[in-house]
Copies of this chain bind each other. A is one copy, B any other.
């Protein structure tokens, strides 16, 4: 039963490698707020989302939190396992529900611990892009004002979902951006006034993607360029 892969990492694999993996790949539904990686607990599953968005957040002891990474169809959940670590202090969960492929950790490790595996090289390049996203986010969180960060973040989500409408509440955006909900309210409202987005009661609609890109800080372009580079040599 050959299911069309839409996760970009899986899609980039040579046919033979895809066939080798396919017995271990299962399609699963990812529900909103489902936890994929629990802090400090063994990572048992790897996910290759393709129309869902997942987030890695760091939670502080006082309850505040910030997103430090965001994964969609361009990546996979469980990079820590690829890095020979069975646990990690951050939480990864589903931010926008959707479909994903799933693999058991043990199967993943067995296939990827082969230096010549095409999957191994793709994972390496993805982890690099992910590291760049995370570190750029670290800088962005310190240096850029909320309105620019909000534009950047919405465009990152939009690019990964590849549709203009998706569920998204202000409360959630506040958690991701590490600010208070009322602060998101004013910032999001300005974007709405400017005609870039429209939203109501947990439904977000992107009206002007180009406008979001322009309103975003330079971090957006830098981050997306890294993810494009993963696949450069495969489509060159």
Residues on A facing B (Cβ under 8 Å): 56, 58, 60-61, 64-66, 68-69, 79-80, 82-85, 88-90, 113-115, 121, 124-125, 127-128, 130-132, 134-139, 141-143, 178, 218, 222, 226, 229
List residues of chain B with CB within 8 A of the CB of A64: 143
Number of copies: 2
Evaluate whether A89 and B142 lie within 8 angstroms (CB atoms) in the complex, with A84-B121, A124-B83 already known: no
Give the distance to chain B from A87, nearest Cβ to Cβ, in Å: 9
Evaluate whether A138 and B89 lie within 8 angstroms (CB atoms) in the complex, with A131-B131, A143-B178 already known: no
Q: Among B65, B121, B135, which residue has its beta carbon within 8 angstroms of that of A139?
A: B65
Give the distance to chain B from A219, nearest Cβ to Cβ, in Å: 8
Q: Among B58, B115, B128, which residue has its beta carbon within 8 angstroms of that of A135?
A: B58
The reply to whether A139 and B60 contact each other, CB–CB distance below 8 Å, is yes
Chain B CB count within 10 A is highest, among A56, A58, A65, A139, for A139
Supply 14 A–B pairs (Cβ within 8 Å), ascending by A.
A58-B136, A58-B139, A66-B139, A66-B142, A68-B139, A80-B131, A84-B125, A88-B132, A89-B136, A113-B115, A114-B115, A127-B131, A131-B131, A138-B138
The reply to whether B80 and A135 contact each other, CB–CB distance below 8 Å, is no
How far apart sit A84 and B124, CA to CA, in the bound complex (Å)? 6
Q: Among B56, B61, B218, which residue has its beta carbon within 8 angstroms of that of A60?
A: B218
Give the distance to chain B from A151, nearest Cβ to Cβ, in Å: 16
List residues of chain B with CB within 8 A of the CB of A83: 124-125, 127-128, 131
Give the distance to chain B from A188, nearest Cβ to Cβ, in Å: 18
